[in-house]
Amino acid sequence: MKAAKPDTIATHAGSSPFEQHGMVNPPVYHASTVLFPSLAALEAADANPFEIYNYGRLGTPTSHAFERAIAQLEGGYRAVTVSSGLAAITTALLAFTKAGDHVLITDSAYGPARRFANEELTRYGVAVEYYDPLIGAGIDALIRPNTSLVYLESPGSLTFEIQDVPAIAAAAKRVGAVVVLDNTWATPLHFRPFDHGVDVSIHAATKYIVGHSDAMLGVLNCTEAAFDVVKRAAVRYGAAAGPDDIYFGLRGLRTLSVRLKRHGDSSLALADWLSRQPEVRHVLHPARPDHPGHHLWRRDFRGTSGLFAVLLEPFAKHAIAAMFDHFEVFGLGYSWGGFESLALPLDPRPVRSATRWGHDGPLLRFHTGLEDIDDLIRDLDAGFGRLRQAVS
Ligand SMILES: *Cc1c(COP(=O)(O)O)cnc(C)c1O
């Protein structure tokens, strides 16, 4: 299926029905022990543990099917499945660093990634420095001879800055630093990391790939040069994912494209409606022409997903609570990427250090689900009504 287009790859990648009695989907292998018919066969598996199954933690036909599908869909050599998106991030951060190294992390990075870098990496003698997500080629001035890893997240999943990935990757390559990108927002369908100089593409598959808010799963998709380092590290850390959760990831991939289209289209309609509310100062949606960095999104991305934010005028907490406590369709909770809409009031200030977050009001983040757009707008409209009433 070399020449196939993304939708076709997503539909078929990683499947081999005639190796499993013609059944369309692969079986879910629940495995710890793998038995060998002879000592020679056991030794052969030990000598080649990433190709020949030898213990459940190292891989099963279920994890390999998911990894083949991800690598085929996004490009990349091979993928490594781990137990959560955060486990994928920490695996990458540990695998490519040692005492005395320097790492550069975007100021827009997912909060728990920052916490891991600040509280764990530093304990092992790694210097952690944050950079302005909009720095582009200017990152060259921050690169040191001992910079071993440059970490990106584009767009940032809280503040939605679009990074100039190829420019940053080119600067990192000058000193041989590995380029790690959290590609969760775009999914393997909307941004092609390996065409832009990325070495390791991370997905919190928990989000759009699983797509139904019912599993935790992470994956690191790697270039050939990065794969061995990442796989060995993941095996040493013991961060294997459970087979049922991996199966949910593989099943989610089959419908990712149609779900994303709906998430994306509805998110643009919601963003448009929100932009016309007097309490909304700015809309942060990468696919809107007024978004800072929109030209980079147009240059590098193939489509939009459904996660975006708006910056609200400052309001007292009780007014925000009046809005959020009584939504009927939007759920109040962490995560995103599932079929159901979510909304959260957030403050980016505690998770910035290289840049100052200048906005003094709340940031409202929306994950646009698959509900009817009229019902979503009606729910938001009622929420804004409660907000206005609370301050009148
Ligand atoms: C949720 C998220 C993660 C972490 O994924 P988990 O599976 O929840 O551990 C990483 N990066 C981004 C951008 C996320 O939104």
Please name each of the domains of the chain with its CATH number. Answer: 6-252 (3.40.640.10), 256-391 (3.90.1150.10)
> Per-residue pLDDT for 33 more than 80?
yes
143-167: average pLDDT: 98
Instruction: Quote the strand ranges of 30-162, DSSP E.
Output: 78-82, 102-106, 127-131, 147-153
Cα of 204 vs centre of ligand 1, distance in Å, is: 5
Q: Is the CB of 300 within 6 Å of ligand 1?
A: no
Cut 0.95: pTM above it: yes
Q: Which atom of ligand 1 is nearest to the CA of 335?
A: 1
Among 312, 239, 224, CA closest to 275? 312
Q: Which amino acid is at 164?
A: D
Q: Is the CB of 169 under 6 A from ligand 1?
A: no
Structure confidence by residue, pLDDT tens digits, 272-322: 999 999 999 999 999 999 998 999 999 999 999 999 999 999 999 999 999
pLDDT the model gives residue 2: 64
- Of 86, 116, 180, 210, the residue with max ligand 1 atoms within 8 A of its CB, to mutate for a pocket test, comes to 86
The β-bridge relationship of strands 307-312 and 363-367 is antiparallel
Cα 318–Cα 320–Cα 322 angle in degrees, nearest 5:
70
d(CA 161, CA 285): 9
Sequence-ordered list of residues with C-beta below 8 angstroms from that of 234, at least 6 positions apart, any chain: 80, 82, 91, 95, 220, 240
| Reported confidence tier of residue 201, pLDDT bands at 50, 70, 90 | very high
**SS3 annotation, 12-48:** HCCCCHHHCCCCCCCCCCCCCECCCCCHHHHHHHHHC
Task: Sheet with 127-131: list strands edge to edge.
Answer: 78-82, 218-222, 200-204, 178-182, 147-153, 102-106, 127-131
Sign of the four-CA dihedral 221, 227, 233, 235? positive
What the block records as the tokens of 7 is 């939708």
Tokens read off for 368 = 């646009």
